Amino acid sequence: MAAMKLKEIDKQRYRRHFNWVFAGIVVALVGISIGTSAVLIRLFSTPGQSNFWLNVAGVVVAAVVVAAVLVKLRSHPFMTEVVYIWDLKQVLNLIYRKQQKIEAAVEAGDPDAMVVLNFFYRGSKQLYEMDDNLVTMDTLIDRIRHHDRRLAAAGLSTDTGNFDRALLDRFD
C-alpha cells in the first residue's frame, strides 16, 4: 500500500468491531492452541516426556490459522474500520522511526518532510481520538498548530491528501 489517506470513520462502529475482532482472536488462539496441543500430545507424546514443544507447536499452529483468517477477512465490510486503524498505526510507526530525520528536514525547509510530518500529526490525532488516548492531546494540538504555521509560511496546504508512503524512503 503506497498511499495512505486519512478518512473519517465512525468511532463507535470502530470500537465495537475492534472489540469483536479482538475477542475473536483471543478465543480462536486459545481454542486452537489447546485443541492442537491436545491432538499433538495424544499422537506424539510418551509418558513422562515433556510436552513443551508440542504445546509450542499448538500455539504456532493457532497463530498461523488466525493470521490466515485475518488476511482472508481483511476486505470484509465488517473489518473496514479495524483494518484502516491497523494500517494507520503501521504508517505512523514507520514515520515515528524516522521522525528525527524528518524533523531535521522540516527545519531545513524540505516540503516533502513537511507533508510527512503533517500526516503524522493529523493521523496521530485521529488515532488518539479513536483509542481515547487523550493524555497528550493538548501537546499534539500545539504541535499541529505550530506545524500549520510552518506549512502556511512554505505555501503548503494542511491537507493530508498529498502524503504518499514513498516519501518516507527519502529519510532512511
What pLDDT is recorded for position 108? 95
The per-residue pLDDT for range 23-82, each reduced to its tens digit, is 999 999 999 999 999 999 999 998 889 999 999 999 999 999 999 999 999 999 999 999
| Cα–Cα nearest to 120, from 155, 165, 170 | 165
Start-end of H helices in the chain: 11-44, 52-73, 80-97, 99-107, 111-130, 137-153
What pLDDT is recorded for position 93? 97
Are the CB atoms for 13 and 126 separated by under 8 Å?
no
Are the CB atoms for 43 and 127 separated by under 8 Å?
no
Q: Which three cell numbers stand for residue 76?
A: 470484509
9, containing H or E segment: none
Tell me the pTM.
0.88
The helix/strand/coil state of 133 is: coil
